[in-house]
């Protein structure tokens, strides 16, 4: 099973994991100007969860076993892993602990340092703030963990019921050992902001990213349920951050699905295995360090821009994507972060993502 809409057995998530034939793992841009300590040569045979490189106390691990190599082109840096074997998912049957509250009392040392060490040891990264989660949690700010989204609320409800003790214990640890102004586990973004800015027909991710950019310079940290899940698995079950929950919307059925995908998975392989009219026009790689939701839709040929300006409205960095069509003003390609929101929100199903790639390529060629 690749996708699930049924009640989940969270003690064994193997059935919801897609195993690819290769991974093309993008190195987070956060590390581009950093001095990394690579612990392997290229190419080299690696084992699942083996450390590939280290930055300070942060470890980047191989999701699966295989032959790994390094690629670099323009401003992109990739680790390409050719998978060996089809039965290598192991130790993902989460064994519930009876004594969650006493788990860390057996360890000596500062509890905050122990938690941050576990997070770095397992390579947990915040896609919301594009940096290691340990750096985010080290700031003296108000922190809010969102417990659900508008896409798969039943999934999140079930998993937090299953991890109820872990949530309660984490809440206590953060409040008693970290210098946060406050810690809040909020049901969703609407409850947190106490505003009705999220229309039921709009998707959570768009508004989340918009408001995240508005909040980035304030004394507040907002983390999604995806990051909270990775945090809990890392500190309570020593689970490396090499895969994450991905939410899909099938535009042919108007339904949402979820799956656990490894970092670097080719999403085209996923779509090919589904009975759907949705398509991917080119290679689209899942990046657990940047992406949360992917939408696949069948492009409509000969569509024209209606100048509804929805792409501009939802653009988190105000790059003016509508300028790609109306010739009024200019598309600010230097500001564009290629989040893909404009492409997803387009009511005419225009392939805005491809146009942006062309503009970005022109920018790179001009710099050469």
Task: For 185-199, write each residue's pLDDT tens digit.
Answer: 876 555 544 443 334
DSSP-H helix ranges across the chain: 111-121, 133-137, 153-162, 164-177, 189-193, 204-215, 225-237, 267-272, 310-314, 323-326, 341-345, 352-367
At residue 200, the pLDDT reads 38
pLDDT surpasses 50 at 162: yes
What is the Cα–Cα distance from 287 to 272, expressed in whole angstroms? 19
CA torsion, ordered 129, 134, 135, 138, to nearest 10 deg: 120
Instruction: Specify which residues 58 forms β-bridges with.
Output: 55
pLDDT surpasses 80 at 167: yes
Q: How many other β-carbons are positioned within 10 Å of the β-carbon of residue 346? A: 24
pLDDT surpasses 50 at 243: yes
**CATH 2.40.50-classified regions of the chain:** 14-83
Task: For 136-154, write each residue's pLDDT tens digit.
Answer: 999 888 888 888 776 677 8
Q: How many other β-carbons are positioned within 10 Å of the β-carbon of residue 176? A: 10
pLDDT surpasses 80 at 300: no
Greater pLDDT, 222 or 133: 133
Kindly provide the b/e burial profile for residues 94-133, where b requires at least 16 CB atoms within 10 angstroms of the residue's own CB. beeeeebeeebeeeeeeebebbbbbbbbbbbbbbbbebbb
CATH topology of domain 14-83: OB fold (Dihydrolipoamide Acetyltransferase, E2P) (2.40.50)
Greater pLDDT, 122 or 294: 122
What is the Cα–Cα distance from 345 to 38, expressed in whole angstroms? 40
Greater pLDDT, 74 or 287: 287
pLDDT surpasses 90 at 259: no
Greater pLDDT, 1 or 322: 322
Tokens 């892993």 locate to 81
């Amino acid at each position: 099973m690749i996708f699930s809409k049924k009640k989940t057995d969270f003690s064994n998530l193997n059935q919801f994991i897609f195993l690819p034939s290769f991974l093309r793992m993008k190195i987070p841009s956060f590390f581009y100007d950093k001095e990394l300590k690579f612990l392997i040569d290229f190419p080299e045979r690696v084992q699942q969860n083996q450390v590939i490189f280290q930055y300070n106390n942060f470890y980047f691990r191989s999701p699966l076993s295989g032959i790994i190599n390094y690629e670099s082109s323009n401003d992109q840096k990739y680790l390409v892993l050719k998978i060996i074997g089809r039965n290598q998912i192991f130790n993902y049957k989460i064994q519930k602990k009876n004594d969650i509250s006493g788990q860390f009392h057996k360890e000596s040392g500062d509890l905050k340092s122990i938690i941050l060490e576990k997070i770095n040891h397992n390579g947990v990264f915040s896609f919301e703030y594009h940096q290691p989660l340990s750096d985010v949690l080290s700031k003296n700010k108000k922190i809010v963990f969102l417990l659900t989204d508008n896409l798969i609320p039943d999934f999140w409800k079930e998993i937090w019921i299953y991890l109820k003790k872990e949530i309660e214990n984490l809440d206590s640890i953060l409040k008693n050992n970290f210098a946060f102004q406050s810690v809040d586990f909020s049901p969703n973004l609407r409850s947190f902001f106490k505003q009705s800015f999220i229309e039921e027909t709009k998707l959570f991710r768009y508004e989340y990213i918009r408001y995240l950019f508005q909040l980035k310079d304030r004394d507040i940290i907002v983390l999604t349920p995806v990051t909270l899940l990775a945090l809990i698995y890392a500190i309570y079950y020593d689970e490396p951050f090499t895969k994450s929950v991905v939410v899909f919307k099938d535009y042919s059925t108007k339904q949402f699905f979820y799956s656990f995908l490894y970092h670097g998975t080719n999403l085209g392989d996923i779509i090919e295995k589904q009975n759907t009219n949705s398509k991917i026009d080119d290679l689209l790689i899942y990046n657990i360090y940047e992406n949360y939701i992917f939408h696949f839709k069948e492009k409509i040929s000969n569509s024209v821009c209606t100048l509804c300006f929805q792409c501009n409205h939802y653009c988190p960095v105000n790059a003016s994507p509508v300028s790609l069509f109306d010739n009024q003003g200019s598309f600010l390609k230097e500001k564009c972060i290629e989040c893909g929101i404009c492409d997803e929100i387009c009511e005419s199903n225009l392939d805005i993502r491809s146009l942006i790639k062309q503009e970005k390529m022109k920018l790179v060629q001009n710099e050469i």
